[in-house]
Amino acid sequence: MVVSKKGALAYEERRHERLEQNKKKLEQLNLTKLSQALHSTISPKSSPMKKVKPKVARQPVDPSTIRRSSRVADKPPPNYKEVPIEPLGRPRSYRYSRRDLSNRVYASDEDREYAQERAEVLQSGLDPKIPSFVKPMLQSHVTGGFWLGLPVRFSKTYLPKRDETVTLVDEQEEEYPTKYLAVKTGLSGGWRGFSIEHELVDGNALVFQLIEPTKFKVYIIRVNQAEDSSN
Protein backbone atom coordinates (compact mmCIF):
# COMPACT_ATOMS: atom_id res chain seq x y z
CA MET A 1 0.00 0.00 0.00
CA VAL A 2 1.47 3.38 -1.05
CA VAL A 3 0.82 6.40 1.21
CA SER A 4 1.00 9.83 -0.37
CA LYS A 5 3.45 12.38 0.95
CA LYS A 6 0.62 14.76 1.71
CA GLY A 7 -1.18 12.11 3.85
CA ALA A 8 1.97 11.34 5.83
CA LEU A 9 2.47 14.99 6.71
CA ALA A 10 -1.11 15.26 7.89
CA TYR A 11 -0.66 12.21 10.16
CA GLU A 12 2.50 13.66 11.74
CA GLU A 13 0.77 16.96 12.38
CA ARG A 14 -2.16 15.23 14.19
CA ARG A 15 0.19 13.13 16.29
CA HIS A 16 2.18 16.19 17.30
CA GLU A 17 -1.04 17.97 18.26
CA ARG A 18 -2.11 15.02 20.48
CA LEU A 19 1.28 15.00 22.23
CA GLU A 20 1.01 18.72 22.97
CA GLN A 21 -2.50 18.27 24.30
CA ASN A 22 -1.47 15.41 26.60
CA LYS A 23 1.50 17.45 27.85
CA LYS A 24 -0.75 20.35 28.76
CA LYS A 25 -3.14 18.04 30.62
CA LEU A 26 -0.30 16.58 32.65
CA GLU A 27 0.94 20.05 33.55
CA GLN A 28 -2.56 21.02 34.62
CA LEU A 29 -2.77 17.97 36.90
CA ASN A 30 0.79 18.56 38.19
CA LEU A 31 1.56 14.89 37.54
CA THR A 32 4.91 15.49 35.91
CA LYS A 33 6.48 17.19 38.93
CA LEU A 34 4.90 14.63 41.25
CA SER A 35 6.37 11.77 39.22
CA GLN A 36 9.84 13.36 39.27
CA ALA A 37 9.68 14.00 43.00
CA LEU A 38 8.55 10.42 43.68
CA HIS A 39 11.32 9.00 41.54
CA SER A 40 13.94 11.10 43.33
CA THR A 41 12.79 9.96 46.79
CA ILE A 42 12.87 6.25 45.98
CA SER A 43 16.35 4.84 46.05
CA PRO A 44 17.46 1.28 46.63
CA LYS A 45 18.46 0.73 50.23
CA SER A 46 20.50 -2.12 51.43
CA SER A 47 18.78 -4.13 54.14
CA PRO A 48 20.54 -3.69 57.46
CA MET A 49 22.59 -6.72 58.48
CA LYS A 50 21.46 -8.51 61.56
CA LYS A 51 23.95 -8.16 64.34
CA VAL A 52 25.07 -11.50 65.68
CA LYS A 53 26.12 -11.54 69.28
CA PRO A 54 29.30 -13.46 69.89
CA LYS A 55 28.83 -16.68 71.84
CA VAL A 56 30.26 -16.69 75.29
CA ALA A 57 31.39 -20.00 76.75
CA ARG A 58 29.40 -20.89 79.85
CA GLN A 59 31.47 -21.23 82.95
CA PRO A 60 30.75 -24.07 85.40
CA VAL A 61 28.76 -22.92 88.39
CA ASP A 62 30.43 -23.18 91.74
CA PRO A 63 27.82 -24.50 94.21
CA SER A 64 29.44 -22.49 96.97
CA THR A 65 28.63 -19.21 95.17
CA ILE A 66 24.91 -19.90 94.90
CA ARG A 67 22.89 -17.62 97.09
CA ARG A 68 21.53 -19.42 100.13
CA SER A 69 18.95 -18.53 102.71
CA SER A 70 20.23 -16.58 105.70
CA ARG A 71 19.00 -19.37 107.94
CA VAL A 72 21.43 -21.88 106.42
CA ALA A 73 24.16 -19.53 105.17
CA ASP A 74 26.47 -20.43 108.03
CA LYS A 75 25.88 -24.17 107.72
CA PRO A 76 27.92 -26.58 105.58
CA PRO A 77 26.50 -27.34 102.12
CA PRO A 78 24.13 -30.34 101.98
CA ASN A 79 25.44 -33.72 100.85
CA TYR A 80 23.10 -35.47 98.41
CA LYS A 81 25.06 -38.70 98.25
CA GLU A 82 22.78 -41.71 98.55
CA VAL A 83 22.88 -43.32 101.95
CA PRO A 84 21.75 -46.95 102.25
CA ILE A 85 18.65 -47.38 104.37
CA GLU A 86 18.89 -49.69 107.31
CA PRO A 87 16.49 -52.64 106.98
CA LEU A 88 13.61 -52.91 109.39
CA GLY A 89 14.05 -55.23 112.31
CA ARG A 90 17.28 -56.69 113.54
CA PRO A 91 19.79 -57.77 110.89
CA ARG A 92 20.14 -61.45 110.14
CA SER A 93 22.89 -63.40 108.46
CA TYR A 94 20.70 -65.38 106.05
CA ARG A 95 22.54 -67.81 103.86
CA TYR A 96 21.13 -66.55 100.60
CA SER A 97 23.14 -68.77 98.30
CA ARG A 98 21.10 -69.40 95.17
CA ARG A 99 19.95 -72.96 94.94
CA ASP A 100 20.55 -74.88 91.75
CA LEU A 101 17.03 -75.41 90.46
CA SER A 102 18.22 -78.00 87.96
CA ASN A 103 19.17 -80.28 90.87
CA ARG A 104 15.88 -80.15 92.72
CA VAL A 105 15.19 -83.16 94.90
CA TYR A 106 11.56 -84.22 95.13
CA ALA A 107 10.32 -86.15 98.13
CA SER A 108 8.74 -89.52 97.48
CA ASP A 109 5.04 -89.98 98.17
CA GLU A 110 5.84 -92.22 101.13
CA ASP A 111 8.18 -89.66 102.72
CA ARG A 112 5.69 -86.88 102.10
CA GLU A 113 2.88 -88.83 103.75
CA TYR A 114 5.08 -89.75 106.70
CA ALA A 115 5.99 -86.10 107.38
CA GLN A 116 2.34 -85.11 106.99
CA GLU A 117 1.20 -87.73 109.51
CA ARG A 118 3.81 -86.69 112.08
CA ALA A 119 2.82 -83.03 111.67
CA GLU A 120 -0.82 -83.90 112.28
CA VAL A 121 0.16 -85.82 115.41
CA LEU A 122 2.09 -82.78 116.66
CA GLN A 123 -0.87 -80.52 115.88
CA SER A 124 -3.24 -82.78 117.85
CA GLY A 125 -1.12 -82.19 120.96
CA LEU A 126 -1.42 -78.40 120.75
CA ASP A 127 -4.02 -76.29 122.57
CA PRO A 128 -7.22 -76.75 120.51
CA LYS A 129 -8.38 -73.25 121.49
CA ILE A 130 -5.50 -71.76 119.49
CA PRO A 131 -6.09 -71.95 115.69
CA SER A 132 -3.52 -73.98 113.76
CA PHE A 133 -3.03 -75.79 110.46
CA VAL A 134 -0.56 -78.14 108.74
CA LYS A 135 1.19 -77.01 105.55
CA PRO A 136 3.22 -79.52 103.47
CA MET A 137 6.12 -77.95 101.60
CA LEU A 138 6.30 -78.04 97.79
CA GLN A 139 9.14 -76.95 95.49
CA SER A 140 7.45 -73.59 94.82
CA HIS A 141 7.47 -72.91 98.57
CA VAL A 142 11.18 -73.56 99.15
CA THR A 143 12.85 -72.77 95.78
CA GLY A 144 12.36 -70.37 92.89
CA GLY A 145 9.56 -67.94 93.71
CA PHE A 146 9.41 -68.65 97.45
CA TRP A 147 5.67 -67.99 97.70
CA LEU A 148 3.69 -69.62 100.50
CA GLY A 149 -0.05 -69.71 100.06
CA LEU A 150 -2.00 -70.22 103.28
CA PRO A 151 -5.34 -72.06 103.60
CA VAL A 152 -8.02 -69.69 102.32
CA ARG A 153 -10.68 -70.53 104.92
CA PHE A 154 -8.19 -70.17 107.76
CA SER A 155 -6.91 -66.85 106.39
CA LYS A 156 -10.39 -65.40 105.89
CA THR A 157 -11.41 -66.44 109.39
CA TYR A 158 -8.41 -65.54 111.54
CA LEU A 159 -5.96 -63.31 109.63
CA PRO A 160 -6.16 -59.53 108.89
CA LYS A 161 -8.40 -58.29 106.11
CA ARG A 162 -5.64 -56.11 104.67
CA ASP A 163 -1.92 -56.51 104.03
CA GLU A 164 -0.01 -56.82 107.27
CA THR A 165 3.31 -57.90 108.73
CA VAL A 166 3.01 -61.43 110.11
CA THR A 167 5.78 -62.73 112.36
CA LEU A 168 6.97 -66.33 112.29
CA VAL A 169 8.49 -67.71 115.50
CA ASP A 170 10.58 -70.87 115.19
CA GLU A 171 11.17 -73.51 117.88
CA GLN A 172 14.22 -71.58 119.16
CA GLU A 173 11.97 -68.51 119.71
CA GLU A 174 13.69 -66.64 116.88
CA GLU A 175 11.29 -64.22 115.14
CA TYR A 176 11.09 -63.59 111.38
CA PRO A 177 8.82 -60.84 109.99
CA THR A 178 7.03 -61.65 106.73
CA LYS A 179 4.62 -59.80 104.46
CA TYR A 180 1.09 -61.19 104.46
CA LEU A 181 -0.97 -60.37 101.34
CA ALA A 182 -4.64 -60.45 102.29
CA VAL A 183 -6.08 -60.69 98.78
CA LYS A 184 -3.81 -63.59 97.82
CA THR A 185 -3.90 -65.10 101.35
CA GLY A 186 -0.20 -65.88 101.40
CA LEU A 187 3.25 -64.91 102.66
CA SER A 188 5.60 -63.04 100.33
CA GLY A 189 8.51 -60.89 101.53
CA GLY A 190 10.37 -62.46 104.42
CA TRP A 191 9.24 -66.00 103.77
CA ARG A 192 12.27 -66.63 101.55
CA GLY A 193 14.61 -65.76 104.42
CA PHE A 194 12.76 -68.05 106.82
CA SER A 195 12.80 -70.91 104.31
CA ILE A 196 16.52 -70.62 103.54
CA GLU A 197 17.52 -70.05 107.16
CA HIS A 198 15.75 -73.27 108.20
CA GLU A 199 16.86 -75.22 105.11
CA LEU A 200 13.35 -76.24 104.17
CA VAL A 201 13.00 -78.76 101.34
CA ASP A 202 10.26 -80.39 99.35
CA GLY A 203 8.26 -82.82 101.51
CA ASN A 204 8.75 -81.08 104.86
CA ALA A 205 5.53 -80.46 106.80
CA LEU A 206 5.07 -77.31 108.91
CA VAL A 207 2.59 -76.72 111.71
CA PHE A 208 1.46 -73.09 112.00
CA GLN A 209 -0.10 -72.11 115.34
CA LEU A 210 -1.63 -68.61 115.53
CA ILE A 211 -0.46 -67.56 119.00
CA GLU A 212 -1.30 -63.88 118.34
CA PRO A 213 -3.45 -62.11 115.71
CA THR A 214 -0.35 -61.57 113.50
CA LYS A 215 2.13 -64.09 114.93
CA PHE A 216 2.61 -67.80 114.13
CA LYS A 217 4.52 -70.36 116.11
CA VAL A 218 6.03 -72.68 113.47
CA TYR A 219 6.99 -76.33 114.05
CA ILE A 220 9.02 -78.08 111.36
CA ILE A 221 8.71 -81.82 110.60
CA ARG A 222 11.43 -82.85 108.17
CA VAL A 223 11.43 -85.65 105.63
CA ASN A 224 13.02 -88.84 107.08
CA GLN A 225 13.30 -87.18 110.46
CA ALA A 226 13.74 -89.64 113.33
CA GLU A 227 10.72 -89.81 115.62
CA ASP A 228 12.76 -89.07 118.76
CA SER A 229 14.40 -85.98 117.19
CA SER A 230 13.37 -82.62 118.61
CA ASN A 231 13.75 -80.75 115.29
Range among 102-111, 137-146, 187-196, 219-228 rated most confident: 187-196
Domain range for 170 is 109-221
Within a domain: 13? no
CB atoms within 10 A of CB 142: 22
Within a domain: 141? yes
Within a domain: 176? yes
Within a domain: 193? yes
Provide CB contacts within 8 A for 194, sequence distance 6+. Answer: 168, 170, 176, 178, 218
The predicted structure's pLDDT at residue 56 = 67
Residue 84 has pLDDT above 70, yes or no: no
Backbone angles phi, psi at 94, to 5 degrees: -70, 140
The predicted structure's pLDDT at residue 191 = 93
Within a domain: 216? yes
Residue 203 burial by Cβ neighbours in a 10 Å radius (0-12, 13-18, 19+): buried
Please tell me which residue, 200 or 2, carries the higher pLDDT value: 200
Residue 118 belongs to domain with CATH number: 2.40.330.10
Number of domains in the chain: 1
Within a domain: 91? no
What are 127-136's pLDDT values in tens digits? 999 999 999 9
Within a domain: 1? no
Within a domain: 44? no
Please tell me which residue, 126 or 145, carries the higher pLDDT value: 126
